[in-house]
Structures are given as C-alpha cells and as structure tokens.
Structure 1
C-alpha cells in the first residue's frame, strides 16, 4: 500500500472511530510513556513564558496525527492532576466527539453562534479530570467564528476555569482557521510524520508561525514503529529537518 493510501486510510479511521487513547487504555505502554515525555517537554519549553495554559496542536498538512497527539497529551495532563479541557476547534474535520464518545449536536460552534453558556455544553469524559468541548455542527464560516470576539471571550472563560486547555485546530497551510486563533494561544506544538510530511509544507507552516508572536513550543514527530508493536512512536524536538523533500 502506498504512503498516501495508508495514511488516508488511517485518517478516515480517525474521523470515523476517533483517535486511539492509548494513554488511557494502556498507560504502561511504551507509546504512552513517549506521550508523557512529550507533555513534560512542552512544559519545559513553556517554563520561560509568563504562562502556559492554552496550548495549540496543529500540523502543516492533513494526516500528521495532531488529533491523536492532542487527545493523548490532554489525557496525560489530567492524569498528572491538572484540571484539563480539550477543545475541538477543527470545525471542518472534527474528531473529539468520536474519540471520547460524546454527543456533538451542540458544541463550540453552538456557543459562538448563540447565547448559550460554555458551562452548559462542556462534557466530562471517561478520563478523571479531563473535560471536552466538541466542535458542534459544521458551520459555513469556520474562520469567521474562530476569529470572532466571542471566541476570544470563550478562551478567556477557559483560562478562568481550567489549569490547561488543549486546542485541536486544522492544519496551518490548508485554511486560515488556525492562523486566526494563534493570538489566543500561549504556545503552539507542530506535528509532523517522518517520510510523509513534505518539506515545503513544513517550511510554509513555520513561516506562518514566525509572522506571529506565538511561542513555538516544539515539534512532535511520529514514525511507524518497527519493533512489532502496532502504531507509531513519538519524538520531540525543535528542529524542522528530517522531512520528505
């Protein structure tokens, strides 16, 4: 199977069945330990900031694993005793509701387009200490909603009610949704997949991030494991190399 077909299949499976919450179902698995290390490194990278409370997870292109990593890292924060919230701000390809088996008839878009209060639409998940705000119905104008003053006010509400907020947003290069939300985040984590992420796409994403004052907390790279264990292995760093030309 070609790389494109394989990763397209995995992307469809995530859309249909949700991300694999290995940090919850198999906390002693080596991949779970790698994801806890990612969380710790994010905290170290944010130590020099005035605050590290709202963390955005994005990528340069589709199928780089941002939803899987953001959901699992959110789990590890809750497991570490933080009052955590994961927000599905990928309004075009939402996954949080399927990952955590939640109702998505109302969610983020409902709050942004109405007078409903966020406390009424945030769900408790099966993970103690972790709450979730699903995307809600797909709107015709995602970027306008995410860049609205109401979204800024909503993020401020999140800061006042949670220790850590994880934002799962669309890839930077495909739509402007993530770009309009950059000023709301304390830091950004960029996802890449070795031998899949194209160098030109990664360079473009880095250029977009450099246009803002948002702190780049680092790069999470994933690679297919070769030790007989299914799934991916995860690494963390600050470099932008090792990608497909």
Structure 2
C-alpha cells in the first residue's frame, strides 16, 4: 500500500483539543503519555494493531481522547491512522480541520479508494480517515466484508489504527468494531457517566471478540494542581 496523500487539502489541528501537539510538556500531555504506556503494558505478548475507543454516551470526551492518543503514539515514531467511524455525528475532521467530503463511508461503499480518502494531518506519522458523508446504513457498512478488507489493507502500512466510534449504548457500531479490532477502550466522564451505564458498557465490550483493556476517566476535577481545572488520566 503506497503512502496516502493529502491531495492538496490543507490541515491545521485544533489547538484546544490536541494539547499533546501544541503543549507536549503540559500536565495534560503527560497524562496521555501515561495512558499510552498503560496500553503498551496491557499487550503482554500480543501486538495491538487496532483499538476501538468508545464511551457509554455522547459528550464524554472519546473523540478528544482518540485524537490525543493518536498524537502521542505518532510521537513514538509509529505510523498511526485515526479513523472517524462515527458516521452519524463525526468530529475528527473538525479537530484536525480537514475536509469531510470523502471519508470512511465512501471507502466502505467502494466509491473511493483508501489511498485517495486518507488525509495527512501535518503531524509526523499521523494520518486521518474522516467519516465522510453520513450514510443511511452505517451499522451495515461496519458489519460488511469491506470493513474487514479495509482493516487488512491498512495493517500493511500502519503500525496502529485507532477507531473513534459512536456511543456504545446508542447504536451497535462500536460493539461491531470492538469485535473485529484487537482491543477496545471505554472513556468515562467524571461526575457525568452513570455507574450503571458504565457497568453495562463494560459488559458489552467484554462480550466482544476483541480484548477489552480498560477505561479512561476523563474530566476529573483537581482544582489545586497547578491551577489546572481538569486533567485526563
């Protein structure tokens, strides 16, 4: 698989969301590096090529976590592909300021090739496949053979593929992806995610064929640490 090209489309990351790029020495960025280390330790003798990142509900920070994790893995020198597989309410094209005219929905419906659809971010080693136009059948596209063919194709080029997925309790897309990717992570929001919903979401991921490797608690309030209001760990 040849190196994907941006085809002239400009990209400029969104500074407030991608703190690991624009403030790599910050307390926030260090927390993402800690998460990266924990993910690497959780592998054991396995090799994670793909990870599904989801949350029980919307607004819990999974997309911000996905983009920052993609950056810190790329900072290790890895070739990383971040896929916005939320084909209902996508956000990665906004975070990285990319075009969403062509993306995952086009690839899975075989309208465009993978190479012509992936965009560069301006961050060394990190590419993004945006969601593309909203299809009428996102769950069916993810469950299709084309999805598995897509994974096999990108494995030939990228060291790690991260999937930013829809909320787990809302639709089946995330569970489907968790079943075909190597691992899954659940993002929870402090003082927001209900314990009952968190437990239900963990149970769903544990039933998937992929390995559930843990949760990330987002937006935990620590008002006395360097005057920072929130951090992620």
Question: Taking structure 2 as the reference length, what is the TM-score of the superposition?
Answer: 0.89
Does the CA contact (< 8 Å) of 1:46 and 1:187 recur in 2? no
| Alignment length (residue pairs) | 217
- In structure 2, runs of 5+ residues without a counterpart are 1-13
- Aligned residue for 1:142? 138
User: How far 1:117 moved relative to its partner?
Assistant: 1.2
What is the root-mean-square deviation in Å for CA atoms of aligned residues? 1.4
1:209 is aligned to 2:208: no
Partner of 2:67: 71
Matched ranges for 1:84-233 at <5 A: 84-222=80-218, 223-227=220-224, 228-230=227-229, 232-233=230-231
Give the corresponding residue for 1:33: 30
Task: State the match for 1:5 in structure 2.
Answer: none
Alignment TM-score, normalising by the size of structure 1: 0.85
Match of 1:48 in 2: 45
Whole-angstrom CA distance in 1 between matches of 2:111 and 2:102: 13
**1:176, CA displacement in angstroms?**
0.6
Q: Give distance in 2, aligned partners of 1:207 and 1:132.
A: 29
Alignment deviations for residues 136-175 of structure 1 (CA, whole Å, 9 cap, x no partner): 0011111011111101100111111100111100111110
Please state which structure has a larger fraction of its residues in helix: 1
Closer, same or farther: CA 199–181 of 1 in aligned 2, 3 Å = same
Q: How far does the alpha carbon of each residue in 1:166-220 deviate from its partner, in whole angstroms, 9 at most, with x for none?
A: 1100111110111111222110111111111101111111121122232111111
Q: Structure 1 residue runs of 4+, over 4 Å off?
A: none
Change (3 A) 1:92 1:60: same
SS at match of 1:110: helix
Cα drift, residue 114 of structure 1: 2.3
